[in-house]
Structures are given as C-alpha cells and as structure tokens.
Amino acid sequence: PLKAVIFDLDGVIADTAVVHHAAWKKLADDIDVPFDDATGERMKGVDRRGSLEILLQAAPRSYTEVEKQELAARKNDYYREQIEHFGPQDLLPGAREAIESVRRAGLKVALASASRNAGLLLQRLGIADLFDVVVDANRISRSKPDPEIFLAAASALGVAPDECIGVEDAAAGIASIRAAGMAAVGIGQARALAEADLVLPSIAAFDIGTLTTIRTTNWR
Ligand code: G6P
Ligand code: MG
C-alpha cells in the first residue's frame, strides 16, 4: 500500500527552478561560457557543484579547484539575492494544497531536495511544519540521479521504498526515484520526463485521491 509521498522542492513546490536558471545564466555570461535551455534542463535536480561541472563542459578553458569554488559561491550569491525576498506567494499554485491533501489522506510527507538552501526556503515559504522528514544535500553524499536521497527519506519515515511515490520536475530526479524502487510522478513536460510513471503539467494537477486508487504498476 501507499504510505508516503516524497516531494522535490525546486520546481515542484517552490517557483525556484527559474531562479536557479537565471543565476547560472548570469554566471555563464560573467565568464563568457555559452548557456542554453537544454543545458539548464540537464542541471535541474543536480547539486551545485555538479551543475557547475555541467556548465563548464562548454568552457573554452579549464578551471582550477579554487576558481570552481569561487564560481559556485558566486552563483549561490546571485541565487540568494533573489530568494531573500521570497515568501508564501512564491509557492507554486496548488503546492500547499497538494502537501495538505497527502497529510489528510493519512500518508506521511517528506522533502528530498539537492539544495543546501532548502531549509531557508521552507522557512520563507511558511511550510516547514508540513513535512515529517526533510532530507537535503547536507545529509547525503551522492547527488540525484543516485537514489540515495529518496532512500534516505523513506528510511527516515520508516517506510519501504515501494510504499512511496516521489514527485519531481527534473529528469535526474525521476531517475533517482526510479532507481530507489519508488513510483515516479513527473511535474512538467512529458517529453523531458519520459522515465516517469505519470506526468502532470503542474503540481496544481496533483490529486492524491487518484494516485491512491490507481495501482502504480498500471501506470506504465
Ligand atoms: C536543486 C535544483 C538545482 C540546484 C540544486 C542545488 O536540486 O533543482 O537546480 O542546482 O538544488 O541547489 P543549491 O541551492 O544548493 O545551490
Ligand atoms: Mg526540482
């Protein structure tokens, strides 16, 4: 039976996928490295350092470790400048309702975010108390698409992976959920999330009633 739903944060609950994208674009412009939407899409769900490595694949020269640390810190400064001003209005439409509906259905709720800013964002958005468990990049060692973060969330909730649904907007995140042995709900465009068991256009379309009545094995 379904016992828990594990949500990604950026691009699923909070309207921050665009903010990460804009911060990487600003950094790319600073250092004259090309940056297109496809590169931005590949960075989704990937941790800060992993995202930088993806950006620098298109760089004409190599960067030292010290330079890379400075670049990652600068991107984070650009990002933080924007989320400093965040509040409940920056929740994606329907996000709070989706989480509350899961709780009302008697299921557990966890957050699995690759972002080191996840704790700050939850506070700003005013939803920190809606989660039974929060796992962020500070608590794991392998980034999505590795299953570690979703497995850690299930384990902290005390449920088995096959009793969980994971909700993600990133291809790397869907891969992580599937590798963890969970059912995967994609949020966004079906084309970018082909590995998901079910794709919804936005979190506003999330309906826990439908998810609990459909056997996950019948989705594909
Ligand atoms: C999320 C986002 C990524 C971001 C990562 C790290 O997974 O989808 O775009 O790179 O978090 O975020 P951070 O806030 O730690 O730089
Ligand atoms: Mg995301």
Tell me, what's the ipTM? Answer: 0.97
What residue ranges of the chain have pLDDT lower than 50?
A: none
CB of 48 sitting under 6 A from ligand 1: yes
Distances, alpha carbon 55 to alpha carbons 33, 35, 73, in Å: 8, 7, 14
Distance 7 CA to ligand 2 centre (A): 9
Q: Please give the Cα distance from 90 to 189 (Å, whole number).
A: 21
Distance 193 CA to ligand 1 centre (A): 18
Q: What pLDDT score does 211 carry?
A: 87
Question: Which residue carries 């509350």 as its tokens?
Answer: 100
Distance 80 CA to ligand 1 centre (A): 12
Q: What is the pLDDT of residues 110-167, one digit of tens each?
A: 999 999 999 999 999 999 999 999 999 889 999 999 999 999 999 999 999 999 999 9
Q: 119: Cβ–Cβ under 8 A, 6 or more apart, which residues?
A: 128, 134, 136
Q: Is 115 annotated as a binding residue?
A: yes
Tokens coding 152? 């850690």
Give the predicted TM-score (pTM) of the model.
0.94
Half-sphere exposure of 141 (CA within 13 A, CB side): 0
Q: What pLDDT score does 216 carry?
A: 60
Q: What pLDDT score does 215 carry?
A: 58
Q: What pLDDT score does 64 carry?
A: 98
How, if at all, do strands 164-168 and 198-200 pair? Answer: unpaired
Q: What pLDDT score does 212 carry?
A: 85
Alpha carbon nearest to ligand 1 atom 9, residue: 44
Atom of ligand 1 nearest to the CA of 170: 8
Q: What pLDDT score does 113 carry?
A: 97
Ligand located closest to 171 CA: 2
